[in-house]
A and B are shown apart, each in its own frame.
Chain A
Amino acid sequence: MLQLAGLAIARGGRTLLRDVDATFAPGTFTALMGANGVGKSSLLATMCGVLPPAAGAVTLEGADITALDARTRAQRMALVEPTEPALASMTVGDAVATARFPYHRWWEWQPSDADGAAVDDALQATELGALRERELGTLSAGERQRVWIAVALAQRARVIALDEPTTHLDLRFAIETLTLLRRLADDGTVVIAVLHMLEEAAAFADRVVIVGQERVLADGPPAQAFTPETLQTAYGITIEIEQRSGGLSFRRKAR
């Protein structure tokens, strides 16, 4: 159980979010949504202990995550951020194997059988097995994105947070990645992903948190969180929402 209590996020002296209270239970896939620059990525990084909160606390199973040592935190929480460059000459297999670092003490240099299995499973789940020996510098942006998702899978963490996991992915891999995340959630993982496409969130997430104007604008199942008023407040555009047999459908209202 991941809990945010009175959490405030600030960057460069500017408050982005305040009074964020939320609980993320195992087995849920939450879509974190909102306009650019409202603090979604910072919220995600703060939840995972990478950035300090301006106020409030993040607890995982009752333990304040800022009090956990870095390795323990990494065993429990994985964060996928696509933008940071990595050494181009690293192979895909090497990159995914870094996920097992938190399971080793500093003098244990050789991978264990459990490490090998976790890396193999992650490569298979992201269909990267054939690219295992390829260098990161030779991959497309979409393939690299899958590598970082594979790293998070190989961490075998109870919480996986992903910042725009479908960015750079083609249609097939975008759908397969979201299906994979849905399956992880169904298997008991806490999945939280920053998504931009309303249809993706409605189809795969069972909860949507929309942030904007320094606060949580909506928090609930997609059918409840997505209202024209909330989307107007969050994005400044008018969206018509229709409930169909296949799920929610969204259309921008003509001006």
Chain B
Amino acid sequence: MPLAALFALAVGGTTISPHDLFAAIVHPGSASDAATIVWSLRLPRIAIAATVGASLALAGTLMQALLRNPLIDPYITGVSSGAGAAIAIAVTLGVALAAVPALGFVAGLATAVSVAVLARRGSGLDAERLILAGVSISALMSAFVALALTRLAHGNASAEIIAWLAGSLSGRGWTDLAAAAPYAVSGAVLGIATIPALNVVRVGERRAATLGVDIARLQWILLAAAALLTAAAVALSGLVGFVGLIVPHLARRLVGADLRAGVPAALALGAALVIVADAASRALFAPLEIPLGVLLAFIGVPAFLYLYLRGTARTYA
């Protein structure tokens, strides 16, 4: 991750030489262009990219472990689709841009609550219902986005909606991070606290129940954690796909199935991946920025297919 951060500090619309980069880092108050770029523009983006990447990777790791399904990503909670629909409608109605991330955050969490209510069975959640509810609600929300784009939004509004859907850190700064960080940290604390119980769920949900895991409580805590982490990430970056799907796979390959090692690995890998991808999105066709979500999809889809299809072993036995 530190290497990814150094790479992202040096690379962008303006490339900074190693000498200037070092000088800018050790003299933060300097009036040089490099110091301004590093401290005012790139550092906040790196911090935001790390937060987005770590949040999505953690949410993905937790949901895959809970639902015992390696094809789950955190967007199954409905957070992203709800946020996307709310943002599309808000932009169409002319809501101030500054209010859009907060609106996306609230709508995302509200959608996650709807998905959870639909997935409820007894005192806990039914994994199959959760997946079905997540996919169905996401399809419904996508229809609202399509309606807003094709029939309601005009001119700049359409471009703003598409920019959100494509995912980007452009224009985000410390204020945005300060607003989202408490939710990301709360989600992370909740999620990390469940690691010992989630490690037991690897032997099977019913077996875990006989080993002292309160499955219903674990499900609700993890869904809340994943929703908070995802909502914080979506509010910061719009829709950034594949991080939550692919990073848990990479972490498992690197450190094995024990989540005590898997979660720190996923946090570091997720942060590093989004930091590098964001730097590349700024640098590849500078001064134009490629949307972060688009770049990650270009990298993520082939990488995921390679990882998933190459593995021939059964996931569960």
Contacts and interface: CB of A to CB of B under 8 A. Distances in A.
B20 interface: no
Interface stretch (A92-100, A116-124, A194-202, A232-240): A92-100
A149 interface: no
A73 B213 CA distance: 10
B180 to A, nearest CB: 26
B197 A89 contact: no
Given A85-B204, A90-B203, A90-B257, A155 B314 contact: no
A213 B100 CA distance: 64
Interface string A64-81: 000001111111011101
Interface stretch (A101-109, A169-177, A181-189, A245-253): A101-109
Contacts of B210: 48, 50, 74, 77-79, 81
A90 B258 CA distance: 8
A101 B211 contact: yes
Q: How large is the interface on B (under 10, 10 to 19, 20 to 34, 35 or more residues)?
A: 20 to 34
A190 to B, nearest CB: 15
B313 interface: yes
A50 to B, nearest CB: 6
Contacts, number: 97
A153 to B, nearest CB: 13
B260 interface: yes
Given A87-B257, A106-B193, A137 B314 contact: yes
Interface in B182-236: 193-197, 199-200, 202-214
A151 interface: yes
B256 interface: yes
Contact of B206 (A71, A81, A95, A136): A81
A249 B147 CA distance: 76
A90 B214 contact: no
B256 to A, nearest CB: 7
Nearest to A69: B214
Interface string B252-280: 10001110100000000000000000000
B317 interface: yes
Contacts of A94: 202, 257-258
B306 interface: no
A77 to B, nearest CB: 8
Contacts of A69: 214
A89 to B, nearest CB: 5
Q: How large is the interface on A (under 10, 10 to 19, 20 to 34, 35 or more residues)?
A: 35 or more
A88 interface: yes
B313 A88 contact: yes
Interface string B290-308: 0000000000000000000
Contacts of B212: 70-75, 101-102
Contact of A102 (B211, B260, B313): B211
Contacts of A85: 204, 316-317
Contacts of A137: 313-314, 317
Contacts of A87: 68, 202-203, 257, 315-316
Contact of B207 (A70, A84, A89, A102): A84
A84 B206 contact: yes
Contacts of A88: 313-317
A84 B204 CA distance: 6
B257 A109 contact: no
A230 B202 CA distance: 42
Contact of A90 (B194, B196, B197, B202): B202
Contacts of A48: 210
A72 to B, nearest CB: 8
Contacts of A77: 210
A98 B195 contact: no
Nearest to A99: B211
A98 B206 contact: no
A76 B278 CA distance: 53
B259 to A, nearest CB: 10
Interface string A133-157: 0001101000010001001000100
A254 interface: no
A143 B212 CA distance: 24
A251 to B, nearest CB: 38
A130 interface: no
A70 B214 contact: yes
A165 to B, nearest CB: 15
Interface of A: 48, 50, 69-75, 77-79, 81, 84-90, 94-95, 98-99, 101-102, 104, 106-109, 136-137, 139, 144, 148, 151, 155
Which 8 pairs between the two chains have the least Cβ-Cβ distance? Answer: A74-B212, A102-B212, A84-B204, A85-B316, A71-B212, A88-B317, A87-B202, A137-B317
Given A75-B212, A87-B202, A137-B317, 7 more contacts: A86-B202, A86-B317, A94-B257, A94-B258, A98-B200, A99-B211, A106-B196
10 contacts: A74-B210, A84-B204, A84-B206, A86-B316, A87-B316, A88-B313, A89-B252, A95-B203, A137-B317, A139-B317
